[in-house]
Amino acid sequence: MAKNMAKKYFGTDGIRGKVGEYPITADFFLRLGWAAGQVFANEGHGVVLVGKDTRISGYMFESALEAGLTAAGVDTRLLGPMPTPGVAYLTRTLRAQAGIVISASHNPYYDNGVKFFSVQGTKLPDEIEEKIELYLDTPMTTVESSSLGKAKRIADAAGRYIEFCKASVPTKLDFDGLRIVVDCAHGATYHIAPHVFSEIGAEVVSIGVEPNGLNINDKCGATKPQKLAEEVLNYRADLGIALDGDGDRLIMVDHKGEIVDGDELIYIIAKSRLEANELSGPVIGTLMTNLGMEHALKALGINLLRAKVGDRYVMELLAEHNGMLGGENSGHIICLDKTTTGDGIIAALQVMAEMQNSGKNLHELKKGMTKYPQVLLNVKTKSKLDIDLDEKLQKTVKDIEKKLGDSGRVLLRSSGTEPLIRVMVEGQNEDKVNEYANQLAEQVTRSVT
């Protein structure tokens, strides 16, 4: 199949969009379930796991996927609300043929999407996604009634994943006396994360654990950690943990109420692994990774390589360079020595383990790196803009880069999941960074109107 066909539905992180707008519709998910079932049936035998987050449309899409898989003759195991990394783990340990997650991650409730995992608990290879797309363009059929798939629910799915998370830190570590606030964003970790942290001995205050189908990621979680910061101060907690709607992002808050982002958390884990002589390969960041993190890692003798934005690309570079740690400043953190994909709970546990091992609090641990001021602006677009071919835009970029020199960076890119142009400017002088970012955003606005 031609490579451009693979881009018809699947993006960098599955398929995502607004509920009710094609392809995020019940009839498409029915066909998607059938198409995936056709591919999986041809590739071999085995059940397919289906998990979801807490948004209200998950019921509709779960039923549609189940019907499509059943029509293709594939058995389904329904997990109910389950974090994305939990589905990846269960797909691997239950030796399922594939895992499917119904989620739009950190997006609002009115969006939804779907992503797939292989039997290894990793993203599906491109060639499998391409085969699924091929079937999506063919007429849907139903197998003989005697060959129809069957569906069952796995009742202990949450318990299995809780035990896996707890096992990612040594049992000798004593978290007794540690008070933490956990914000589950009213998402898929609401019935899992509080148990994980309390069962390892911490005193847990839970917020964002009352999903109603409409409040996922609403003014809470990893994308809006301000509420968590307030609660950490209010409860005089040692730290706060913010997860996103599907549990693959992590942002933390120290005891002073200061937000600790993905770059700082990756730095803490990298330094911890290095000191334990357990770090292999370079650390993989993205084009958005703060320059301060790159410099801090370099001071430790650790190389940072930058991938395109998206955990898929981070995973590709980790595999290519035999790395074990990577992620994004947004909070996707991949610890391949512990699991196969980005996992907010497991990343938080690694940071907590370093706190206990070092005797330092989170505020002290993050001081090892100094972030450069970084301004990120999102410019909404209605028409498609080819950034590379817009001469005025490219001239503005080059002018700003020249002014920044070696002490800063400029990044301009189209979002892979939303109709946005992302403008990022980074440098040592905060006033200049703000000035340049606004200048570039204004030029983008002129170019798209």
Q: What CATH number is attached to the domain comprising 295?
A: 3.40.120.10
Q: Catalytic residue among 105, 118, 168, 447, which?
A: 105
Q: Is 105 a catalytic residue?
A: yes
Structural domain total, the chain:
4
What are the start-end ranges of the H helices in 94-245? 126-136, 157-166, 193-199, 226-234
Quote the strand ranges of 361-431, DSSP E. 374-380, 409-414, 420-426
Do 85 and 13 share a structural domain? yes
Residues in the chain: 449
| Residue 355 lies inside a defined structural domain of this protein | no
The tokens of 3 are what?
Answer: 């490579």
Do 78 and 35 share a structural domain? yes
Q: What CATH number is attached to the domain comprising 399?
A: 3.30.310.50
Residue 382 lies in domain? 374-448
The DSSP bridge pattern shows strands 48-52 and 15-18 to be unpaired
pLDDT tens digits in sequence order for the chain, 449 residues long: 344 444 689 987 899 999 999 999 999 999 999 999 999 988 777 899 999 999 999 999 999 999 999 999 999 999 999 999 999 999 999 999 999 999 999 999 999 999 999 999 999 988 999 999 999 999 999 999 999 999 999 999 999 999 999 999 999 999 999 999 999 999 999 999 999 999 999 999 999 999 999 999 999 999 999 999 999 999 999 999 999 999 999 999 999 999 999 999 999 999 999 999 999 999 999 998 999 999 899 999 999 999 998 888 999 999 999 999 999 999 999 999 999 999 999 999 999 999 999 999 999 999 999 999 999 999 998 777 788 888 899 999 999 999 998 789 999 988 766 789 999 999 989 999 999 999 999 999 988 77
| Residue 348 lies inside a defined structural domain of this protein | no
Do 378 and 248 share a structural domain? no
| Residue 163 lies inside a defined structural domain of this protein | no
Q: Are 74 and 37 in contact (CB under 8 A)?
A: yes
Q: Are 393 and 416 in contact (CB under 8 A)?
A: no
pTM here is 0.91
Long-range own/partner contacts, residues 2-10 (CB < 8 A, 24 or more apart):
5/130, 5/133, 5/134, 6/126, 6/129, 6/130, 6/133, 8/133, 9/133, 9/136, 10/129, 10/132, 10/133
Do 266 and 253 share a structural domain? no
Do 60 and 31 share a structural domain? yes
Do 188 and 119 share a structural domain? no
